[in-house]
Amino acid sequence: MGEQIFLESKYEKYMEKIGGNIRYQWYRSGTPKWKDATKIPGANKLIYIPEIADQEGFLFLKMTMEYIDAVIPPVLLNYVMTEKLETERVFVSPALGPVLPAFFIESDLKNISVFDNEGNELLQNFDNEIKNYSIEVGANVTSVRVYPTWVSSNNNYVVINGVPSELWDAQAGGLNIPLKFGNNKIIVVSTAESFAGVNTFSISVDRKVKGEEDVKLLPPQARFVKIDNSFDEFLGKTLHGSYTFYDELDRAEKGTKFQWYRQNDEEGDGRVAIVGATETTYKLSENDIGKYVYFEVIPKAEGSIAGEATMSCWIGPINRIDSKLSNITDIKVVYEGKNILNNFDEISKTYMVNFTSKEGKEIVEISVVGGEGITINGTTGHTKRVNFYGTHLVEIQANVPNSSETTSYFIQFNDEAKPASIEIKGMREVNITGEHGKIVSLEALVYDQYNQLIEGDIEWTVPSGYDFEVVGFNNQILNLHFPSNVAAKTIEIRANIFGDESVSYRKNILITN
């Protein structure tokens, strides 16, 4: 008997998130002082129903939170922390009370109605004295709507599956609850007008598959249908539609259909299916200029009927050019008098150049035509000469007209020529001494024939049995750890550039006790 006392449970989710645990214990006291409280045997859950012994007294909830590096959430700021240990924290709630005899007056509901997704009433024998009801439904019933009514129009407080009445769908009336296969528990808790008592009812809805035809009545769903890269739409851009396939029977997806549409305005005027646009990607064409486009999915599972067509939000209107582009008209990359970048168009943002440089030659000259506020790898200007070996990424930035934004273009150079030299910094001696259990750091740097540092990828070769870590840009730093159980000996470390052992540097390291 009595009212179930509910406290906020935000901190429970918080502890689940960080892998912690909570223990509960209720205490009673004849005064609002925690020091006078005594433990209530068996009252070790979050919910507690006051007993006769609690009348005119006060209640406290003690929570012991076991945690791993936990930061105490804001919801606990009203609690008093009584202890602080290494692996747990203990909190005690403010005094709850005094507990009045009115707590033991139960509330009453006039009725609880349960409707299926077609509006049929499923629970027709509600009785306030019965606490548990069972309903059996077929596979085609995918949800139920629970709608309680109470004796008077005063402020009765009803909670269904933890959702209070103020959060129900006011137009539908009650709370809509989706059903899974098997048993679905619905808990209805009603509080009296004076908030002095509660009534709890359990409704068990058993959703069953009765045969093959029922299974076919359960089509799959396409959830979260959207156009992924819908930020700035322009001619030539490829749109990507995405969705999440969901099937309650875990059947494999088979036969799902896709369709792209265009329309004249945001309201859907003149909507037509785009001929041939039946994949998850679609490249915008001249016919889309000024129009609005959206993506549709009709899901289907193996052996099922087709699911409901689900569409994304529209995007548009479609522009002729990318409004975020600069007004660069061309980028030229010249090597030995020839332009080795022949595919520039302003819509693309990354370009690849493969070539083999020759010793003694200026490698490339990058020339930008048009555009404003041009920088090439951070250097202001429309042209830049660079020489390097290996793989390099050059960034060209340009201002967007009538905007504070910039556009970046990237050219990846893949030069197959070999470097002129390799050096391991700080290792000019014949041997380097390392102590057992210590770490020695080696740094490999690569230079070209102009003595310019180049950005070649470095591969390290370390004898087996040694712990090491490769860090730094292009793996240039090796941190080598000497185990304490290895006898004194000399080991060889090798650094290779571009994975080519013919261009490498070796160094011996003497390990001592």
- 18: Cβ–Cβ under 8 A, 6 or more apart, which residues? 67, 68, 69, 70
pLDDT value at residue 367: 93
Q: Which of 61-65, 68-72, 313-317, 357-361 has the highest mean pLDDT?
A: 313-317
89 or 408: which leads in pLDDT? 408
pLDDT value at residue 85: 42
| pLDDT at 100 > cutoff 90 | no
On the question of a common fold for 105-213 and 221-311, the answer reads yes
pLDDT value at residue 494: 82
The residue ranges of DSSP E strands in 37-162, in sequence order, are: 38-39, 58-66, 80-84, 88-92, 109-116, 132-137, 143-150, 157-160
Tell me which of 2.40.50.100, 3.40.50.300, 3.40.50.150, 2.60.40.10 is the CATH number of domain 421-512. 2.60.40.10
Q: Give the model confidence (pLDDT) of 425-461 as tens digits.
A: 544 444 566 666 677 788 887 766 556 666 667 888 8
pLDDT value at residue 280: 95
Tell me which of 1.25.40.390, 3.40.50.150, 2.60.40.2700, 3.40.1010.10 is the CATH number of domain 221-311. 2.60.40.2700
Name the pLDDT band for 74 (thresholds 50, 70, 90). very low
Average pLDDT over residues 128-144: 87
| pLDDT at 84 > cutoff 50 | no
Name the pLDDT band for 68 (thresholds 50, 70, 90). very low
Domain extents in the chain: 10-103, 105-213, 221-311, 328-415, 421-512
pLDDT more than 70, % of the chain: 76
pTM of the model: 0.37
Strand ordering across the sheet containing 364-370: 338-339, 328-335, 364-370, 383-386
Name the pLDDT band for 114 (thresholds 50, 70, 90). very high
454 or 4: which leads in pLDDT? 454
| pLDDT at 233 > cutoff 70 | yes
| pLDDT at 169 > cutoff 80 | no
Q: Give the model confidence (pLDDT) of 457-488 as tens digits.
A: 788 888 887 888 888 777 888 888 877 666 66
Q: Give the model confidence (pLDDT) of 410-429 as tens digits.
A: 998 888 776 666 666 544 44
258 or 158: which leads in pLDDT? 258
Q: Is 472:387 a contact under the CB 8 Å cutoff?
A: no
| pLDDT at 12 > cutoff 60 | no
Q: What type of residue sits at position 319? A: N
2 or 15: which leads in pLDDT? 15
Q: Is 474:443 a contact under the CB 8 Å cutoff?
A: no
66 or 287: which leads in pLDDT? 287
- 276: Cβ–Cβ under 8 A, 6 or more apart, which residues? none
How high is the mean pLDDT of the chain?
79
CA atoms of 227 and 209, how far apart (whole Å): 35
pLDDT value at residue 83: 42
| CATH code for residues 105-213 | 2.60.40.10
Tell me the DSSP string of 308-340. --EE---B-PBBSS-TT---EEEEEEEETTEE-
Q: Give the model confidence (pLDDT) of 23-48 as tens digits.
A: 889 999 999 888 899 999 988 888 88
Q: Give the model confidence (pLDDT) of 336-364 as tens digits.
A: 888 888 878 777 788 888 888 776 666 78
Q: Is 337:306 a contact under the CB 8 Å cutoff?
A: no
pLDDT value at residue 23: 84
